[in-house]
């Protein structure tokens, strides 16, 4: 990435010299530019990490919410159930 940015050489030439696929290098260069605040058409690495964590948290909260809903239905049914006195 540094070589592409510092020399201005085409990504395809640098990728060929490094023995990697040009699109892989191009993607890394774009990500480095986003991380440096030079482009706003993609998320920074920090933003991607935060988004991943937030999605995980949302999924966990949704599971917890479903559990609480099921528990509330269970307890509501218990409250509505008629009570019988034990026989003596």
User: Among the residues of the chain, which ranges form H helices?
Assistant: 2-7, 11-18, 22-35, 45-80
Other Cβ atoms less than 10 A from the Cβ of 7: the count is 10
Torsion, Cα 13 19 22 27, to 10 degrees, reads: -120
The per-residue pLDDT string of the chain (88 residues; one tens digit each, 9 = 90 and over) reads: 788 988 889 999 999 999 999 999 999 999 999 999 999 999 999 999 999 999 999 999 999 999 999 999 999 888 877 777 776 6
| Rounded CA separation 69/59 (Å) | 15
- Model's pTM, two decimal places? 0.68
Residue 88: its pLDDT value, please? 65
């Amino acid at each position: 990435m540094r070589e592409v940015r510092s020399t201005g050489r085409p990504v395809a030439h640098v990728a060929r010299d490094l023995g990697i696929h040009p699109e892989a290098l191009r993607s890394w260069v774009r990500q480095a530019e986003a991380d440096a605040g030079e482009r706003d058409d993609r998320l920074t690495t920090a933003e991607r990490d935060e988004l991943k964590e937030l999605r995980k948290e949302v999924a966990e909260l949704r599971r917890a919410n479903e559990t609480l809903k099921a528990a509330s239905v269970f307890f509501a049914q218990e409250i509505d159930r008629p009570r019988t006195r034990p026989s003596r």
